[in-house]
Structure formats: C-alpha cells, structure tokens
Structure 1
Amino acid sequence: MGAPVEIRGLSYAYGSGDLARPVLREVGLAVGPGEIVLLTGPSGSGKTTLLTLIGALRAMQAGSCRVLGQELAGAKEAQRVLLRRRIGFIFQQHNLLGFLTARQNVAMALELDPGTDEAGRLARAGRMLEAVGLGDRTESKPAQLSGGQRQRVAVARALAGDPGLILADEPTAALDRQSGGEVVRLLRELAKQRGVPILLVTHDPRILDIADRIVAMEDGRILPTEKAEPAPAA
C-alpha cells in the first residue's frame, strides 16, 4: 500500500484564461504513516491551497493527488465527500458551536456514522476529551473554556472519527506560547500513538521541533527539503 498522501505534478490556478493566477506549480510531496510534516513559507506561497486540495475541499486541475488510496484527479464531488469523512480537519479558529457542550461539539463529528447511536457518539466524545486532557470539562460550553482548551476540543473533534489523516491549518496562531505548545505536543503524541500522519500549515517558529520533516514553499513550489532535528521526548 502506498503512502497516505502521494502528490505528483500538482498545479492549480485561480481564475481562468488571461486572468488565471497560478498558485501551485508542479508540486510533488509524499507523507508517510505517522509522519508529522510541517508546511512553512510566506503568505501567498500556496500552503493553504495545497492543504485544501489534499483535503478534497477543492477539485483538482492538473497533476495527481492520491489521498488514503483515493485518486483525486477527476474525482466526483460524491467521492470527495466520502474522502473528507476519513480526514480530520483542525483550523486556526476552533469553530465550536457556542450553544453545545464540549462533548456535544465532539459528538457532532460522528453524526454521519450510521453504526453509532447518540449514546454511543456521546460516550466516544467523552473518551476523546479525556485523551486530550479535558475529561473534567466535557459539559462545559466554549465560553467557559480558555483558548487552548477550545482548541483541544477541536483536536478531539478531528480525531473522533478515527481519521486516516489529519490536516491542520495554523492551529496555534490564535494561542499563547504555553497553550500552543500544549496543543502541538498533544498532536505529536496522538500521531505517534495512533500512527496517523499530520500535515500542518504554520508560520509559528515555536512548533518546528515537533516535525519529522519541514517542507518549505515559495511562489507555489516546494523548496529542497529541510531535515528536522529529532523531536524531544514528550
């Protein structure tokens, strides 16, 4: 079986014809099982666009992008929807629903699973919150949680469906140093324990030491790979 993410010759542009603006140019990338890969580079270098293509949130234009065994070149929307259900997404803004408890927010990620009833979803959500250190805050609403705690709930939600891949876009940007460090350490531990690869877009130099590999982008291209130093033991 191939790598969870295999990309070859991927190009993408916004607009069309004379107004087309290329944002990705002949990108090639592979992410292995349990590997944590950070995408870095200046704003406008194509990092988030690449993440959305890997996450099947956009339709492919050129090249090959195989994610969890599914080729996205030429994939129909229904195929992309099914793939998205196998991916955990974490964004800069936690996007929690304020009128739901932490447990209910996490359980929402399981509502499309026909084999799990509401009691089962809530029980699993509780276990995921325990795994991220919030076992005592399951009934708290987002307004009662700190920024770091809210992002931990978002991590639990992303992991609730046992995803084969986690995609994270600036997950520490809105957090202070301590909270951001806690979130990335949590992601590293869970990636290694579960063998789930993580592709993480970041401008945050504080979290580079969690990476197995750092991939720098500039002008829509991937620069020569920089080997990360081994991450310290948790």
Structure 2
Amino acid sequence: MTAPIRLSGVTYAYGKGELARPVLRDVDLAVGPGEVVLLTGPSGSGKTTLLTLIGALRAMQAGDALVLGQQMAGASEAQRVALRRRIGFIFQQHNLLGFLTARQNVAMALELHPGLSERDRLTRAGEMLAAVGLADKTESRPDQLSGGQRQRVAVARALAGRPGLILADEPTAALDRQSGGDVVRLLRELARRQGVPILMVTHDPRILDIADRIVAMEDGRILPANEAKSVSAA
C-alpha cells in the first residue's frame, strides 16, 4: 500500500535571491496508513512550514512530495485545493465561528462535499459530535463550551468529511493537562478507527505516549532516530 505521505529532498525558503532564508533542507519523511507521527523540535525548526506544504497550503519549491497519491511538485492551485478537501486540519486555535452552534460549525466542513443535503450534513455533524462525547452540546455556541470541548468540536469537524489524512498543529497548546490528553487520545482513537494517519506538530511532552513514532526537526532538517529520541526526552 502506498504511504499517504512520502517526501524526498523537500527544500523550502522564504524570500528570494540574496534575501532567501532556508527553512527546510532536504527533508525525507514517510507516514504510513493509520500511523500516528509526532513532529517535535525547537521553534523555528521548520515544523509548521513542513505541515503547510504537506497540507497543500503552500506550493512546493524543490524536492518530491506525494500526499494521498497527489504529486505536489508542480501541482496547480486547483489540484492543491482538491487535495485540501481530503485532509482534516486541526490547529492550536479551534477557529470555530462564534455565531454558529457546535453542530453548524462541524457541518460547515461538509459544504464542499457534493451530494450531501443540508439535512445530511447536520445529521453527520451530530454523529461526529456524539463520537467525541458532545452529544448533549450540539446546539451550544463556542462561548458556552470549555476549551477542551471547543477543541473536541474542532476534532469532530476535521473528521466529519472522512479525510484520508489528519494534520494537527499544536492542538493541545491552549489546554490544561487533562483536557489536552483527553483530546489527543480521542483523536488517535477516532482516526485509527477510520484508518486515518495523523501527523501532529507539538511541543507538548505530555502527549508523546500517543505516538507510533516521534520525528524531531532542527534547523530545517529531520534528525536521525537516535537524536530524535533524545530531543523528545529532553
């Protein structure tokens, strides 16, 4: 089976010419089906830039990247938009719309899926909220939910479209220890149930135990496995 993520020699810089600042340097990375991989390392090491390239939020500059079967090198904007629809994104800030209910926020993720009526979208949104333990909060607005509950809504939204890949950027940074642990374990359980791989950027040492593998970055490069273990244990 083809790996959902396979990168080879990925290089990226901000700026051009003499002002170019390399952020990624010859990055090789593969993530297998159903695998949970944590991406760690100091701020500025290139983790979030790598995540945005994999998520088709930026155009490739150099190297080879295959994501869910789509070749990213030379991909058009239309191809990247189509790929983004197949990926579930979870960020540090939940990015929920305050004037919508939890159910409506989740249903919004399904609006670009053809063939689903509004009733279908709301039904599936309710099912996903029940799956994350919020069956009694479907009609609550974000300001009526705790931080952990809001992030659970974000998890439900990311999984509602049945994505082929989950990308998460510091999803526990704004949560306390209990809420953060609950959210990532729930995410892992739901994603594995659906066979969806997870690539998660984190500085949070409290959640390292959820990973199948920890990948450490430094200065735009991926460290060898033995160095990655020492970084994650620090």
Q: 1:140 to 1:227 in 2, by over 3 A?
A: farther
Structure 1 equivalent of residue 183 of structure 2: 183
Structure 2 equivalent of residue 171 of structure 1: 171
Structure 1 equivalent of residue 39 of structure 2: 39
Q: 1:71 to 1:212 in 2, by over 3 A?
A: same
The one-character-per-residue Cα deviations of 1:4-50 (angstroms, maximum 9, x if unpaired) are: 00000000000000000000000000000110000000000000000
For 1:28 and 1:144, locate their aligned partners in 2 and report how far apart those are by CA, in whole Å.
43
TM-score by length of 1: 0.96
Alpha-carbon distance, 1:194 to partner: 1.1
Q: 1:18 to 1:228 in 2, by over 3 A?
A: closer
Equivalent position SS for 2:135? coil
The code of the aligned residue for 2:20 comes to A
Retained in 1: the 8 A contact 2:8–2:27? yes
Identity of aligned residues (%): 82
The code of the aligned residue for 1:25 comes to R
For 1:184 and 1:226, locate their aligned partners in 2 and report how far apart those are by CA, in whole Å.
25
For 2:66 and 2:30, locate their aligned partners in 1 and report how far apart those are by CA, in whole Å.
9
Alpha-carbon distance, 1:191 to partner: 2.2
1:16 matched to 2:13? The reply is no
Structure 1 equivalent of residue 2 of structure 2: 2
Structure 2 equivalent of residue 136 of structure 1: 136
Equivalent position SS for 2:99? coil
Alpha-carbon distance, 1:167 to partner: 0.1
Structure 1 equivalent of residue 119 of structure 2: 119
Q: 1:227 to 1:12 in 2, by over 3 A?
A: closer
Structure 2 equivalent of residue 107 of structure 1: 107
Structure 2 equivalent of residue 209 of structure 1: 209
The one-character-per-residue Cα deviations of 1:102-152 (angstroms, maximum 9, x if unpaired) are: 000000000011200000000000000000000110000000000000000
Retained in 1: the 8 A contact 2:215–2:228? no
The code of the aligned residue for 1:58 comes to R
Q: Choose between structure 1 and 2: higher helix proportion.
A: 2
For 2:47 and 2:149, locate their aligned partners in 1 and report how far apart those are by CA, in whole Å.
26
For 1:96 and 1:70, locate their aligned partners in 2 and report how far apart those are by CA, in whole Å.
29
Aligned residues: 229
Alpha-carbon distance, 1:225 to partner: 2.0
Structure 2 equivalent of residue 69 of structure 1: 69
Structure 1 equivalent of residue 225 of structure 2: 225
Equivalent position SS for 1:110? coil
The one-character-per-residue Cα deviations of 1:86-106 (angstroms, maximum 9, x if unpaired) are: 000000000000000000000
1:146 matched to 2:142? The reply is no
The code of the aligned residue for 2:143 comes to A
Q: Which runs of 5+ in 2 are unaligned?
A: 230-234
Retained in 2: the 8 A contact 1:45–1:218? yes
Equivalent position SS for 1:3? coil
Structure 1 outlier segments of 4+, above 4 Å: 226-229
For 1:139 and 1:168, locate their aligned partners in 2 and report how far apart those are by CA, in whole Å.
25
The code of the aligned residue for 1:120 comes to D
The one-character-per-residue Cα deviations of 1:171-204 (angstroms, maximum 9, x if unpaired) are: 0000000100100110111122111000000000
RMSD of the TM alignment (CA)?
Answer: 1.3
Q: Which runs of 5+ in 1 are unaligned?
A: 230-234
Retained in 1: the 8 A contact 2:40–2:216? yes
TM-score by length of 2: 0.96
Moved more, 218-227 or 139-148: 218-227
For 2:212 and 2:206, locate their aligned partners in 1 and report how far apart those are by CA, in whole Å.
15
